[in-house]
Amino acid sequence: MMKKSFMTGNEAIAEAAVQADCRHFFGYPITPQNEIPEYMSRRLPEVGGVYLQAESEIAAINMLFGAAGAGARVMTSSSSPGISLMQEGISYMVGAQLPCVIVNIMRGGPGLGGIQPSQSDYFQATKGGGHGDYHLLVLAPHTVQEAVTLTMEAFDLADKYRNPVMVLGDGYIGQMMEPVEFGRKTRQSTHPLKSWALTGAKGRPPNLVKSLYLNPKELEEHNLEINKKIQDMIKNEVRVETLLIDDAEIIIAAYGTVARIAKTAIKVLRERGLKIGMVRPITLFPFPYETFAKISKRAQKVLVVEMSLGQMVEDVMLGLSGQGCVRFYGRTGGMVPSYDEIINETEKFITEGKA
Amino acid sequence: MEKEISKPLYTNLILAGFGGQGLMFIGKLLAYSAMKTGKYVTWIPSYGPEMRGGTANCTVVISDEEIGSPVITSPQALIIMNNPSLKIFEPRLQPHGILLFNSSLITHQISRKDISAISIPANDIATKVGEKRTANMVMLGAYIARTMVIPKTAIFRGLEEFFGKKKQFLKANKQAFERGMEYTS
């Protein structure tokens, strides 16, 4: 058996990045993710890496642009307001087809909001965020162990698609401590050759990393190339966990910490003889639309629970394509739904139907 | 509390008090020590803008099975070390739950009649041990004696790993823990 460590999600994400050969970290402090830069500031020098605290999130994301352009494995982490500041740079990195990993440990918004857990950056993370025709690949862990696995995979996926990948957790994923295992079992890294990187053009034609295409015909071709990668992500990278859905009359759809809370609610409801199951999207983009399309034929009712006022619910409805009956329950501003609340909502759904 | 041998273990608790009383520490120690005995554990801190003297709390879940919700609204047990925390958390304790409170500092009356409230003069006991800062360990000792969630030896092993080279603190912390156990046994 591998040695278990007891770590916060933040520390575990940072260690996972180091073990996935990330050697460059640029960031700016913000609660509730400060343990990531703190850990990196100590750990990266030990492995010959570079930790640099930028003067702002805008500077940090542009440092990622530079390092990724030179072929380095790079990461930044922040929380909601900081991620908003990074959007321009993220869009530029997509445009320049540069891989990187961005960790967003979400807190309540809008604006400066608060520091308690939230999932209200779902739209921003999955629908673009910055300007232009693009998507990030978005991974949403619900345990510290899964945060490790997904962070490691995030680097490989970023390299594979030459596109930024976001690890999207709420404040509790960052702050919670759980047992976690590192090691080869969780690690199957690939390092594709980065022939496009700016590594010095001696003996080869120079490479060019840019997102400016003034000729609309060229830009359209460029965007179609980016879109081809997005279509490949949709085809190849959808990940989803389903729980007890075969006989379920009601499906709870949730991700991240809320999915954990919902699992307890489902256990209680099952003990009461109610047929409740769960769909937990692990990739928020690409979204597991097909899973919902399939369950629309079986379960009549889907309860979507989020720490927001209703964002993922729109993708669930797209997946169901007008079939079945959707009810939404959300808390916002840093309030976390309890399993009692989810149990109540589920029972109300049975008697009342749609909210 | 009666223990059923066949039933898999599942328990949760909230620990609350002033920042600086070491509630976060004993929460982590309990979770870590339980992990070392092969349990699933989660530990969630309150991470508001607390500081020394403010209130702080954490939630610990220990289970033989994979843990669903790490967030607990109505805990099975409470370790409470000051008046403001008592006010917040007493109403949230499950019926028949265990409330361990630090009677050295808590002056408010316990209002619930449907719970087991156990008074522990933790600061006084810690002072007698000779290290005032070990009141948290007295409370943890009382909790372990009362619930037997994990054995004393597991906590001691965890403590040794946590303190590492700082051996001078180990003895007082172990003693405080044992006094807490004895007080509630």
Chain B: give the shortest CA distance to residue A107, in Å.
Answer: 12
Partner B contacted by A338 (CB < 8 A): yes
Q: Which of B47, B57, B60, B159 to mutate against chain A (most A CBs within 10 Å)?
A: B47
Indicate the residue of A4, A32, A338 with minimum beta-carbon distance to B47: A32
pLDDT in tens, A157-175: 999 999 999 999 999 999 9
Instruction: Read off the pLDDT band of A191 (50, 70, 90).
Output: confident
Q: Are residues A172 and A272 in the same domain?
A: no
Which chain B residues touch A32 with a CB distance below 8 Å?
47
Indicate the residue of A116, A177, A339 with minimum beta-carbon distance to B69: A339
Measure the CA–CA gap between B143 and B159, rounded to whole angstroms.
Answer: 16
Contact yes or no for B41 and A179 at CB 8 A:
yes
Contact yes or no for A176 and B74 at CB 8 A:
no
Partner A contacted by B42 (CB < 8 A): yes
Contact yes or no for A264 and B48 at CB 8 A:
no
Which chain B residues touch A115 with a CB distance below 8 Å?
47-49
Q: Does A17 score more than 90 pLDDT?
A: yes
pLDDT in tens, A71-89: 999 999 999 999 999 999 9
How many Å from the N-terminal Cα to the C-terminal Cα in chain B? Answer: 12
Indicate the residue of B41, B47, B74 with minimum beta-carbon distance to A178: B41
Chain A: give the shortest CA distance to residue B23, in Å.
Answer: 15
- Single-letter amino acid, residue B69: S
pLDDT in tens, A172-190: 999 999 999 997 555 566 7
Which chain B residues touch A169 with a CB distance below 8 Å?
none
Which chain A residues touch B73 with a CB distance below 8 Å?
338-340
Token pair 């007891």 in the structure block, residue: A6
| CATH number of domain containing A278 | 3.40.50.920
- Write out chain B's pLDDT in tens, 185 residues: 455 556 899 999 999 999 889 999 999 999 999 999 999 999 999 987 655 667 899 999 999 999 999 999 999 999 999 999 999 999 999 999 999 999 999 999 999 999 999 999 999 999 999 999 999 999 999 999 999 999 999 999 999 998 887 788 899 999 999 999 999 98
Interfacial B residues in 56-95 facing A (CB < 8 Å):
67-71, 73-74
Is A28 contained in some domain?
yes
Chain B: give the shortest CA distance to residue A272, in Å.
Answer: 17
**Looking at the DSSP assignment, which residues form a beta bridge with residue B61?**
B12, B42
Q: Are residues A98 and A149 in the same domain?
A: yes
Q: Are residues A222 and A320 in the same domain?
A: no
Would you list the DSSP string of B10-46?
EEEEEEEEEBTSSHHHHHHHHHHHHHHTT-EEEEEE-
Instruction: Read off the pLDDT band of A352 (50, 70, 90).
Output: confident
pLDDT the model gives residue A184: 59
| CATH number of domain containing A224 | 3.40.50.970
Contact yes or no for B47 and A261 at CB 8 A:
no
Chain A: give the shortest CA distance to residue B185, in Å.
Answer: 30
| DSSP symbol at A31 | T
Tell me if B138 sits within 8 A of B126, measured CB to CB.
Answer: yes
Q: Are residues A43 and A129 in the same domain?
A: yes
Contact yes or no for A115 and B47 at CB 8 A:
yes
Q: Are residues A155 and A24 in the same domain?
A: yes
Q: Does A1 score more than 70 pLDDT?
A: no
Q: Which residues lie closer than 8 Å to A198 by C-beta, 6 or more apart?
A: A69, A70, A71, A207, A209
Between residues A180 and A193, the one the model is more confident about:
A180
Q: What is each CA distance from B79 to A69, A312, B172, in whole angstroms? A: 53, 38, 20
Is A246 contained in some domain?
yes
Contact yes or no for B31 and A171 at CB 8 A:
no
Q: Are residues A182 and A321 in the same domain?
A: no
Partner B contacted by A339 (CB < 8 A): yes
Structural domain range at position A11: 4-188+210-236
pLDDT the model gives residue B50: 57
Contact yes or no for A340 and B73 at CB 8 A:
yes
Q: Does A240 score more than 90 pLDDT?
A: yes
Q: Are residues A138 and A220 in the same domain?
A: yes
pLDDT the model gives residue B6: 67
Q: What share of chain A is helix, strand, coil (3-state, %, to 5)?
A: 40, 20, 40
Q: Are residues A290 and A164 in the same domain?
A: no
pLDDT in tens, A247-263: 999 999 999 999 999 99
Indicate the residue of B31, B45, B73 with minimum beta-carbon distance to A175: B45
Is A128 contained in some domain?
yes
Please state the φ and ψ torsions of residue A337, each to the nearest 5 degrees.
-65, 135
- Read off the tokens for A88: 């321009």
pLDDT in tens, A114-146: 999 999 999 999 999 999 999 999 999 999 999
Contact yes or no for B68 and A6 at CB 8 A:
no
pLDDT the model gives residue A186: 54
Domain endpoint, select from A201, A236, A271: A236
Q: Are residues A219 and A169 in the same domain?
A: yes
pLDDT the model gives residue B169: 87
Is A196 contained in some domain?
no
Contact yes or no for A264 and B28 at CB 8 A:
no
Closest-CA residue of chain B to A34: B47
Stated pTM of the model: 0.95
Average pLDDT of chain A is 95
Which chain B residues touch A266 with a CB distance below 8 Å?
68
Indicate the residue of B28, B35, B71 with minimum beta-carbon distance to A172: B71
Is A194 contained in some domain?
no
Is A204 contained in some domain?
no
Measure the CA–CA gap between B152 and B141, rounded to whole angstroms.
Answer: 8
Contact yes or no for B70 and A176 at CB 8 A:
yes
Contact yes or no for B47 and A336 at CB 8 A:
no
Chain B: give the shortest CA distance to residue A264, in Å.
Answer: 5
Tell me if B103 sits within 8 A of B126, measured CB to CB.
Answer: no
Which chain A residues touch B68 with a CB distance below 8 Å?
260-267, 339
pLDDT the model gives residue A3: 84
pLDDT in tens, A299-310: 779 999 999 999
Contact yes or no for A176 and B43 at CB 8 A:
yes
Q: Are residues A332 and A257 in the same domain?
A: yes
Q: Are residues A249 and A340 in the same domain?
A: yes
Which chain A residues touch B74 with a CB distance below 8 Å?
340
Is A200 contained in some domain?
no
Is A197 contained in some domain?
no
Q: Are residues A169 and A21 in the same domain?
A: yes
The verdict on domain B10-184 having CATH code 3.30.365.10 is: no
> Count of domains in chain A?
2
